[in-house]
A and B are shown apart, each in its own frame.
Chain A
Amino acid sequence: MRRLLNPVVRDLMARGRSLADDWDAFWFRPADPTLLGLLRILTGLMLLYTHAVWGLVLGQFFGPVSWLSPALVRAIQQDQYNYSFWWLVADGWMWPVYGFSMAVLLLFTLGLFTRVTSILSLLVVISFAHRVPQATFGLDQINAMLTLYLAIGPSGQALSLDRFIARRRGGSALSRPAPSAGANLALRLINVHMCVIYFFAGISKLQGEAWWTGEAMWRAFSNLEYQSIDMTWLAWHPWLLNLLTHVSVLWEVFFCVLIWQPRLRPLMLAGAVVLHVGIGACLGMWTFGLIMLVGCASFLPSQTVRDLVAALSPGRSRPWTALMPLPTPPQPAVPWPSRPEVPEPALPLNRV
């Protein structure tokens, strides 16, 4: 009996170990933080814009006699865990607190003191959203989600003032950020969360008849309050509306599977661009469309991002990838999160 069971146990243990290795590699394999730095800048710009717009109507939404009175919001949020620093702000302090919040978001976008400003930015984003929950929509949800993961990962290790200062202090040996398990963890969390969002956005539509009859896109385009471009000409092209309806549901439902296929990833990302630019142009939700594209950008290959950064960097005519082939070969999982950053050796070729 023992002789019969031993191979089974050994096989199960080997499979378990393999699964654990895959899990470790998926979440903790050190990754180039450049993409995370780019996402920080893009998300930070959106946060600055979102909160700058709040500044146009600060008294209307955060003042003592606001659209959503403190009594109403507290009543709706009773028994919930929705904290907001706005509950602690006295009337006279509304503008100073707003100014401090904007300063935090600016520092986060620039990547200065990022370890601290990323966490403070998360507090700012959540506090604003929890104070006026009935004035928020998908944009605020994605803003908060991205800020959370950028606070978890070392989003200030690349494309940041923190990096610039470190380079000035450390000389050329610190000219490029080292791959980091934390960067990979943050990017993977964004990847997976985007999959969850699209999957549930897709399957929740399957409850609605209009997404089956192919009329849902018409219902969206013909909603005057959303409409920013007159799309009523589509009433003469119902088949096109049917096609757009079916393709968008299929794309959303299967995004979580197909985006992981290297050959299909460019197609899925191109679909994201079409979908979200369409939402921005036709339904007037540019901010939502753009922040969703920022989330989708987390699926971009590191090499592409490095090339892009190199191309945009002043005084560098040669992409970094010519000097440092990427993607990096698989590396064994390294101790995390206490692994110290190792300065990379000088490059074998001179930079132009």
Chain B
Amino acid sequence: MNPDAHSRLAVPGPVPARHRNGRRYWRWMVNLWLVFHLVAIIIAPAAMDPSSELTRSVHDVCQPYLEALYLDHGYHFFAPEPEESTLLSFEAERPDGTVVRGRIPDRATQPRLLYHRYFMLTEHMSKSLEEFRDQWHESYAQHLGRAYGASRVKLIQQTHLLSSMERIREGGRLTDPESYENHPLGDFACDAY
């Protein structure tokens, strides 16, 4: 770059006092926001469980800001360690007696990002708070009832256990039926079909 260009960029020329004060004010505001923002983006993951009362208190202050900007995350990718996954089997019974059976996530779903959306539905369901669990299952059942025109939907949560290295070396497969555990969630009457 032409050295002249630098000097033209760096030296803005005489600035009236009123403008100088305005700039100084802006600069202070930006710096204050910057400090707050840095504290907020660090405290968001730091306040995830397990955490101290101090970090949780600071997080309480930053929480509205973090939530409004969708920054309130722990970034605990595959932590504390990769776990078994959760699937959702369903049986949707139509008024004429026919039954549609399925499972989400379905590995045949394309594109892969869509598969992950369904996968997240089941993963988040398995980790939901007790107080929301019934409403959660009801929501999924009503959706399936609507999607398949069913009057009754049966949901089964499946836990796909991880295989050890020894088991694989001895000839086991990741799809072996014994690696799945079923947990019935109930039968739901669907009024939205």
Q: Are B168 and A134 in contact (CB under 8 A)?
A: no
For A, the interface residue count at a CB cutoff of 8 angstroms equals 96
Min CB gap B176→A, angstroms: 10
**B188 sits at the interface (CB 8 A):** no
**A68 sits at the interface (CB 8 A):** yes
Q: Are B10 and A220 in contact (CB under 8 A)?
A: no
Contacts of A125 in B (CB 8 A): 70
**A60 sits at the interface (CB 8 A):** yes
**A145 sits at the interface (CB 8 A):** yes
Q: Are B174 and A193 in contact (CB under 8 A)?
A: no
Q: Are A228 and B112 in contact (CB under 8 A)?
A: yes
Min CB gap B94→A, angstroms: 16
Q: Are A204 and B45 in contact (CB under 8 A)?
A: yes
Would you give the 0/1 interface string for A318-345, flagging 1 where the beta carbon is closer than 8 Å to chain B? 0000001110110110111111001011
Contacts of A219 in B (CB 8 A): 81-83, 162
How many pairs of residues, A versus B, come closer than 8 Å at their CB atoms?
Answer: 220
| A205-B80 in contact given A65-B146, A196-B42 (Cβ < 8 Å) | yes
Chain A residue nearest to B145 (CB atoms) is A65
Q: Are B168 and A207 in contact (CB under 8 A)?
A: no
**B102 sits at the interface (CB 8 A):** no
Would you give the 0/1 interface string for B1-38, flagging 1 where the beta carbon is closer than 8 Å to chain A? 11011101110100100010011001100110010011
Min CB gap B4→A, angstroms: 6
> Main secondary structure on chain B at its contact with chain A?
helix
Q: Are B146 and A193 in contact (CB under 8 A)?
A: no
Contacts of B23 in A (CB 8 A): 335-336, 338
**B116 sits at the interface (CB 8 A):** yes
Contacts of A223 in B (CB 8 A): 82, 84-85, 160, 162
The CA of A132 and the CA of B118, in the complex, are separated in Å by 11
Min CB gap A229→B, angstroms: 12
Interface residues in B22-76 (C-beta closer than 8 Å to A) = 22-23, 26-27, 30-31, 34, 37-38, 41-42, 45-46, 48, 50, 63-64, 67-71, 73-76
Q: Are A126 and B116 in contact (CB under 8 A)?
A: no
Contacts of A218 in B (CB 8 A): 165
Contacts of B116 in A (CB 8 A): 137, 139, 284-285, 287
Chain B residue nearest to A338 (CB atoms) is B23
| A235-B70 in contact given A135-B120, A337-B30, A338-B26 (Cβ < 8 Å) | no
**B151 sits at the interface (CB 8 A):** no
Q: Are B8 and A342 in contact (CB under 8 A)?
A: yes
Would you give the 0/1 interface string for B150-191, flagging 1 where the beta carbon is closer than 8 Å to chain A? 000000000010110110110000110000000000000000
CB pairs A–B below 8 angstroms (28 shown): A49-B113, A60-B147, A65-B143, A67-B139, A68-B121, A71-B139, A75-B132, A76-B132, A81-B67, A125-B70, A136-B120, A148-B69, A197-B45, A204-B48, A204-B76, A204-B79, A207-B50, A208-B81, A210-B82, A211-B80, A216-B82, A218-B165, A222-B162, A225-B85, A324-B1, A334-B12, A345-B4, A348-B2
Known A-B contacts: A144-B70, A225-B119, A284-B116. Give 15 more (CB < 8 A): A72-B136, A126-B68, A134-B121, A196-B75, A200-B76, A208-B81, A210-B82, A216-B78, A223-B84, A225-B105, A226-B85, A228-B112, A235-B165, A285-B112, A335-B23
